[in-house]
Amino acid sequence: MANPFNLPMMGRSLRNLLSRPATRRYPSEVRPHFAGTRGTLEFDLDTCVFCGLCARRCPTVALTCSREDRFFAIEQLRCIACGVCIDLCNKDSLRMSEDAPHVHLHTGAAPGDPRPGHQEWHQQPPDGSPPVPGDAAGGTATAAV
């Protein structure tokens, strides 16, 4: 008759119960940037003149710029941090920051917007509506002035 206490997985199960989780509790626990990481692209609405040069030259089409609508957008999950747009912008409106919120925490341009990593800015809301406030905890998904 088989020994009911001979459970080969019991030792491993007990070890797992008493040890730390093998994975992080993302997004509440975010890994710090590695040394040498370029960071996350940040945009400054106050200095941008909406020339569109950065958007035309971005190799991954991560930027959208409209001079007519005074609109700028970054798809953070497309950006490969190459720095081309930063070098091109003579208004210093773009920069890499290691302090920026993690790109996966950007939740979209508006409440209910499912696009992760999407950020957009309107210099003047097109319909004259008040600006949509950003989410300071998870990254400014929309910055409107």
- Rounded alpha-carbon distances, angstroms, from residue 78 to 21, 24, 68: 30, 24, 24
Burial profile 32-58: b = 16 or more Cβ within 10 angstroms, e = fewer: eeeeeeeebbbbeeeebebeebbbeeb
Please report how close the Cβ of residue 137 comes to ligand SF4 at its closest, in angstroms.
24
Distance CA 71, CA 8 (A): 62
Tokens of 49: 């003149």
Max Cα separation, the chain?
82
The verdict on 109 binding ligand SF4 (CB under 6 A) reads no
The verdict on 58 binding ligand SF4 (CB under 6 A) reads yes
Distance CA 40, CA 127 (A): 30
Give the x-and-dash track for 120-139 against ligand SF4 (CB under 6 A).
Answer: --------------------
The verdict on 88 binding ligand SF4 (CB under 6 A) reads yes
Please report how close the Cβ of residue 95 comes to ligand SF4 at its closest, in angstroms.
10
The verdict on 100 binding ligand SF4 (CB under 6 A) reads no
Cβ nearer to ligand SF4, comparing 94 with 100? 94
95: β partners: 42
Cβ nearer to ligand SF4, comparing 96 with 132? 96
Site residues, ligand SF4 (CB under 6 A) = 41, 48-54, 58-60, 62-63, 65, 79-85, 88-89, 91, 93-94
